[in-house]
Amino acid sequence: MKVTLEVAAAQIDHIVVQELKRQYDDLESDLRQRQAIKDSNPYGVFENDKEADCIEIQKHMDAFAKVLSYNMAHQDFEDWQHTVGSHPLP
């Protein structure tokens, strides 16, 4: 079975931005959880060392924010930045 789907460029842009935001939120949640865990937990997202892991998670979050700034209208990006950090842990 073959299915052909026609999607407008604006719809693709919207999907990409929403996915980037979701991944940013996931990393933000990972960072908060990692910061809350006692130092004795050796399991991290990128590194086993807690401090190094938190730094690497933040670097990835910064990279996602940079890509979002390119893919979003300036005012939309500014509005999104004001909501960053306000998401509670799951």
Distance CA 28, CA 74 (A): 22
| Residue-level pLDDT at 88 | 44
Q: Does residue 90 form part of some domain?
A: no
Confidence of residue 83 (pLDDT cuts 50, 70, 90): confident
Q: Does residue 13 form part of some domain?
A: yes
| Residue-level pLDDT at 40 | 67
Boundaries of domain holding 15: 9-83
Does the pLDDT of residue 30 top 60, yes or no? yes
**pTM to 2 decimal places:** 0.82
Does the pLDDT of residue 86 top 70, yes or no? no
Helices (H), 4-87: 9-36, 50-71, 74-83
For the chain, how many structural domains are there in total?
1
Q: Does residue 4 form part of some domain?
A: no
